[in-house]
Chains A and B, each alone.
Chain A
Amino acid sequence: MRVELKGVTKRFGSFTANDQINLVVEPGQIHCLLGENGAGKSTLMNVLFGLLHADEGEILIDGQPVKFSNSGDAVRHGIGMVHQHFMLVPVFTAAENVVLGFEPTKSFNRLDHKTANAQIHELSQKFGLEVDPDAVVENLSVGLQQRVEILKALSHDAELLILDEPTAVLTPQEIEALMEIMRSLARDGKSILFITHKLKEVRAVADVITVIRQGRVIDSVPPTETEGRLASLMVGREVNLTVTKEATQLGEAVLELRDVVVRDDRGLAVVNGISFDVRAGEIVALAGVQGNGQTELAEAISGLRPVESGTISLRGRDITNLSPREILDAGLGHVPEDRQRDGLVLSMSVADNLILNTPRRAPFARRGTRNLTAVSSNAQDLVQRFDIRTSSIESTAGSLSGGNQQKVIVARELSRPLTCFMASQPTRGLDVGSIEYVHRQIVNQRNEGLGVFIISSELDEVVALGDRIAVIFAGKITGVVEPTTSREDLGLLMAGAAMASHD
């Protein structure tokens, strides 16, 4: 199936999200759509999948113009989409999820499990996507859940598969497996539209790369193009992809964890006896696939989740199970993993967000009365120093772009006296330009003698920033290694293979 987008334009009010986009996906082609966050990739895909209506332009399938009034139409025309956030029912089995909406039934509308399982089995065989039809989805790994999503799309006879940022949640091995699946589907004549902002993946798998910036197609290039060239096409200027770090003097241990055990909401010990140190003047990066206890570990360190056993100390002071307030005051700077949920109040002003965790500190308040002048001048100062792009300090934090929202948090945390700086997924969802900026800030803090603890599921980030890399798997540290360690070894550690030496 040959899909062509011709002059597709989509506006939101006066903002043009897609501007005269032309795109052709040939049968059996892996076509990669590369662009920063906010470049208009998802909007374009939503237009193609019938979730949004284009203001101008048309969609041609095998030369015939088609009109989709909803995603059902798109599915009937052989377009399938795997969303970034899976649309699965966690408590249903893989088979139930795949047949959802088109369930085979027996008399009295009873679900026909047997036929459903057989259908899944057949699909799995045909495309080489092994999934246990009876496995409950919430018990599957993220990579397998994704397979279920792909199977679901294929079960509707999709000829064009749209994969929206499919690798964000996968381990390197799972990414490799996904790419293999993509290649084999392409060999079977399926077309694939692969949306991403990660340069490595694009070059590994794509047949054609179309770069989108500010809603326009900038260029279509072959995968042989260099990463640097792709990055500058994406951002629109030269980007420095490598982080330069000078050697620093290591100081005392500022963050020490000893045999820390933390339970998740279901009562499972997801952090299961973790010990490590972060010393002043170094960056320790915790690598690992999402969902191996990192979130809970960060919450425990910042006091948001009780520590079951073990101790956490900040420059020798025991902060285990202190309140978040006490831990903040003890000098832990924290950039939370979910910045919109835990780090910002989106409906409040940038100025208020910049003092969110120090509102009672002098000079921002005195005897219970806020000093709004001090709050404003603090905001003016930080907006300038950290180059936060906002129309005004009174604009709401929600009106900022993701990168600038992150800058607000980083600015807030770094503007108070710290002992240790902890950042969870500091560049998740940020564009290349903002990533560069946040990384530079983190390295600056280390150079100035702060102990920095980074939690990231981006291997590139971990390798670029870490002076030492600790790898977490299933709540345990599987190894602490040098940043020079090969990606294969890191991948193995992330998948649970224990390391013999080091530390």
Chain B
Amino acid sequence: MTENVATTDNAVPPATRDGTRRRWWDRYSSTSPITLTVLALVLGVVIGAVIIMVTSATVLDAWRHSFHDVGSIGSTLKITFDNVAAAYRAMITGSVIDPTLLFHSISTGQGWTVTMTPLSETFTYATPLIIASIGVGIAFQTGIFNIGANGQAIMGGIAGTAVGSMIHVPMIIHLPLTLFAGIVGGAICGLVPGVLKAYTGAHEVIVTLMFNYVVNAILIYVLTATALQLPGQANGISRNFDASATLDPIFGVKSGLRVSYGIFVAAAVVVFAIWFLKRSSLGFDFRVTGANPHAARASGINPKFIILALFVVSGGLAGLAGLVQAASTTHYIDGGFLVGSAGIGFTAITIALLGRLQPMGIVWGSLLFAALGVGGRAMQAATGIPLDLATIIQSIVVLFVASPVLIKEIFHLRRGAQSFQMATKGWSS
């Protein structure tokens, strides 16, 4: 056993042969996590293209025609390419920036709102995702699989909405208080499974997963049977946030750009997470516990305390994400809040894994997912290709990132790419 370990340990990287071509190849093939993710994205886009080809009526008609008239193969290929290109062009211009509009804005100084809307939307969608995914990422790094981020986000949304809509104080107090309420709501929601795990040994995956359903029910309850319900309404809908408790658009409501001060909250969370994991003593304890719970215990770390603290941090961040979502976009919550496809807490799990649990990786992952979502809508509007294509690409990216061996085979990479397995190990524990 030890012998085998020692054997592989001694395996040193192959000596780099001379020539820059060789060096480039070595770097490319040494599969850094970033290379791997980019390649996964490339594969996702390629497979997406194939799906567009085989589902687009125009493309299929063209091919059918070519069967009878081989001479038209050139135009058929052109139609195929144009369709795919149009779809991806719409996706990119709809989520990042449209160069035509950009040049127009630069030359005339007008139309900036239209030009910047895609970017604004992408950041708007990414903001709560970043916060929630970092919460999930910290939990996963600690070896605790908090699958309850969505419930915690809803709870944060409920608590934050209550404070934001039912307490009336000046903004300087109100906004921080509302944000804090979001954190507390999520933390309390996280503590329930935390206590169950720490003191009864219940498995957190089951408890947190099930707790999501409990929270869904709580959401409906508070929206229909408590003072949080908008007065005079029979539907499940909450009161509106006070203006002093909302995260307003950075460029003003009139600008038409939705991107809000929420991104500063997300930025603060990112900075906090980087500091927390790298520089804080508690973060060190979290990482030790996640990497080796036995050694953690032997070196004096109290596992119960870590579980509780982790759920406070992770649940708190998820709660903050839910609150940011409500306070920056709708300014109220209803029965559909974060339910179903809007469940940022579930997307957060995927993004946390995609970002390899690292804060900066999560930022990029959130931006990618938000861009695919926003761009997918633009694509649907422009080309009629369903939004689901974006979801398919998202899923394929995650699928390939989760199977580094496959990527290595496809691109003939040599080694590395173990980092992801770290993130997903221990699901059975």
- Which residues of A pack against B, CB within 8 Å? 12-15, 17, 37-43, 84-85, 302, 304, 323-325, 328-329, 334, 336, 338, 341-348, 352, 356-357, 359-360, 365, 368-370, 372, 398-402, 429
Contact = CB atoms under 8 A, between A and B. Distances in A.
Given A15-B8, A334-B298, A344-B292, 14 more contacts: A13-B11, A37-B3, A40-B3, A304-B297, A341-B292, A342-B295, A343-B298, A347-B291, A348-B288, A356-B288, A359-B281, A360-B281, A401-B10, A402-B5
B7 interface: yes
Contacts of B279: 369-370, 372
A85 B1 contact: yes
A346 B292 contact: yes
B137 to A, nearest CB: 16
A345 B15 CA distance: 29
Nearest to A430: B2
Contacts of B9: 398-401
Interface in B54-70: none
Contacts of B22: none
B3 A356 contact: no
A14 B15 contact: yes
A401 B7 CA distance: 9
A328 B13 CA distance: 39
A230 to B, nearest CB: 18
A38 B296 CA distance: 28
Nearest to B298: A342
A-B pairs, 3 with minimum CB distance: A38-B6, A325-B300, A357-B299
B77 to A, nearest CB: 43
A427 B282 CA distance: 33
A400 B15 CA distance: 20
A370 B281 contact: yes
Interface in B10-65: 10-15
B206 interface: no
Nearest to B9: A399
Given A304-B297, A348-B287, A402-B6, A369 B280 contact: yes
A418 to B, nearest CB: 15
A37 B6 contact: yes
B415 interface: yes
Contacts of B415: 13
A42 B294 contact: no
Contacts of A344: 292, 295
A216 to B, nearest CB: 14
B426 to A, nearest CB: 12
A12 B9 CA distance: 10
Contacts of A346: 291-292
A348 B281 contact: no
Nearest to B289: A345
A359 B11 CA distance: 31
Contact of B298 (A12, A38, A304): A304
Given A356-B288, A372-B279, A401-B6, A14 B14 contact: yes
Contacts of A302: 298
A264 to B, nearest CB: 16
8 contacts: A12-B11, A14-B11, A38-B2, A84-B1, A302-B298, A342-B294, A398-B9, A402-B2
Contacts of B15: 14
B2 to A, nearest CB: 4
B113 interface: no
Contacts of B14: 13-14
Contacts of B284: 352, 359, 370
Interface of B: 1-15, 278-282, 284-285, 287-288, 291-292, 294-302, 415, 422
Nearest to A84: B1
Contacts of B8: 12, 15
A157 to B, nearest CB: 28
Nearest to A83: B1
Contacts of B422: 347
B285 A15 contact: no
A13 B415 CA distance: 10
A293 B13 CA distance: 44
A324 B297 contact: yes
Contacts of A368: 280-282
A251 B298 CA distance: 28
A42 B295 contact: no
Contacts of B291: 345-348
B12 A14 contact: yes
B280 to A, nearest CB: 6
A136 to B, nearest CB: 25
A15 B12 contact: yes
A48 to B, nearest CB: 15
A352 B291 CA distance: 12
Contacts of A360: 281
Contacts of B1: 84-85
Contacts of A348: 287-288, 291
A42 B298 contact: no
A345 B5 contact: no
A329 B300 CA distance: 9
B4 A43 contact: yes
B300 A324 contact: yes
Contacts of B288: 345, 348, 352, 356
A401 B2 CA distance: 9
A325 B281 contact: no
Contacts of B12: 13-15
A328 B280 contact: no
B280 A42 contact: no
Nearest to B5: A402
Contacts of B11: 12-15
Contacts of A17: 7
B295 A356 contact: yes
A369 B10 contact: no
A17 B297 CA distance: 36
A341 B299 contact: no
B406 to A, nearest CB: 21
Given A17-B7, A38-B7, A347-B291, A365 B298 contact: no
The CB with the most chain A CB atoms within 10 A, among B2, B10, B280, B296, is that of B2
A302 B7 CA distance: 33
A104 B236 CA distance: 68
A323 B280 CA distance: 23
A42 B3 contact: yes
A325 B300 CA distance: 4
Contacts of B5: 402
Given A352-B284, A370-B280, A41 B6 contact: no
The CB with the most chain B CB atoms within 10 A, among A345, A346, A372, is that of A345
Nearest to B4: A42
B141 to A, nearest CB: 11
B281 A328 contact: no
A74 to B, nearest CB: 18
Nearest to B14: A14
Contacts of A399: 9
Contact of A41 (B3, B294, B296, B302): B3
